[in-house]
Copies of this chain bind each other. A is one copy, B any other.
Amino acid sequence: MEDTKKKYAADLSSIRDAHSRISSFTHKTPVMCSESINAIAGRRLFFKCECFQKGGAFKFRGACNAIFSLPDAQAAKGVVTHSSGNHAAALSLAASLRGVPAYIVIPRNAPKCKVDNVVRYGGKVIWSDATMQSRESIATKVLQETGAVLIHPFNDARIISGQGTISLELLEQAPEIDTIIVPISGGGLISGVALAAKSINPAIRILAAEPKGANDAAQSKAAGRIITLPETNTIADGLRAFLGDLTWPVVRDFVDDIIVVDDSELIEAMKLCYEILKVAVEPSGAIGLAAVLSESFRSNTTWNSCTNVAIILSGGNLDLGALWNSYMK
């Protein structure tokens, strides 16, 4: 792992710097365990509850690191992003803590609760179409008009370092873990988590969990190059992005495998989170549990030695309207 910084977007040093920068703003989220779920999984699981992070997702770590890294003059003009939601809320909150504007380009199909979070934290919402092209072109327009700086949701070294702070906490909270299962979308989370964790403990296994309907990362690993998909189809609205040029090299070199699960497995894992852990996760947030319980993981003998498995419950922002409607009858 020497000279990591030269080859990859972050290293243990940049991640430790990020932790110093953000830890007075972020929650040190708890690691929860359940013997009932251990019995179901046949392993000891350690849930790092990033759904309890400020803004309801791990995204606040990266956003905070990015915003508090900016020179004053640049920060004053504000920040821009396009995001499926959690990064947007996180950036809005981090910007408000620094007292600078956050311009948030949000696709019209984003879940209402995620938009509500942006508004709650003082972000300025600018709507786009659902395509990445529309999101990016509108963001560029805002950049030109305001002089604000773009903070990409994942393909950004500051974001990757911020997300990596999870590993610093996790390895201190549960030093016995031998494996970390991480949701994968654009790869910002898993890049930071992998770089930090493998620097501290090179033997640790890093496994990605990805929905079948957006399995670009699994395809990319198989092909040895970034693959994007013409469309995605999964309820995991936070896991529809594709890898970027900063995250792909980390995923290629440090992610030991990618476990693909279908939406029905995801929903079953969500149920366990609510009904046994009592933690309100969003579909994307439950995918690590879905992976460890999946037949493809259980039947792969390579992973028999994964006995102490950390799972990152990445977020909890979810429209629960159906639940409340059932009470209003």
- What are the 4 A-B residue pairs with the smallest beta carbon separation, nearest first? A322-B326, A278-B316, A278-B280, A323-B323
Interface 0/1 of A265-284, CB less than 8 Å to B: 00100010011111111000
Residues of A within 8 A of B (CB): 30, 32, 35-36, 49, 51-52, 54, 56, 113, 120, 235, 267, 271, 274-281, 316, 318, 320-328
Chain B residues closer than 8 Å to A271, beta-carbon distance = 320, 324
- Contact, CB under 8 Å: B36 / A320: no
Cα distance, A120 to B39, chains bound together (Å): 11
Q: Which residue of B lies closest to A267 (CB)?
A: B327
Q: Which residue of B lies closest to A35 (CB)?
A: B54
9 pairs, A vs B, C-beta closer than 8 Å = A32-B52, A36-B120, A49-B278, A267-B327, A275-B318, A278-B280, A279-B279, A321-B326, A323-B326
Cα distance, A267 to B32, chains bound together (Å): 26
Chain B residues closer than 8 Å to A113, beta-carbon distance = 275
Max count, chain B CB within 10 A of own CB: residue among A274, A276, A278, A280: A278
The answer to whether A278 and B56 touch (CB under 8 A), given A36-B120, A327-B235, is: yes
Chain B residues closer than 8 Å to A327, beta-carbon distance = 235, 267
Q: Which residue of B lies closest to A54 (CB)?
A: B35
Beyond the given pairs A278-B280, A279-B280, 5 more chain A to chain B contacts, judged by CB atoms under 8 angstroms and listed by A's residue number, are A113-B275, A274-B323, A277-B280, A278-B281, A322-B323
Cα distance, A51 to B274, chains bound together (Å): 11
Cα distance, A3 to B120, chains bound together (Å): 51
The answer to whether A267 and B324 touch (CB under 8 A), given A274-B280, A275-B113, A280-B279, is: yes
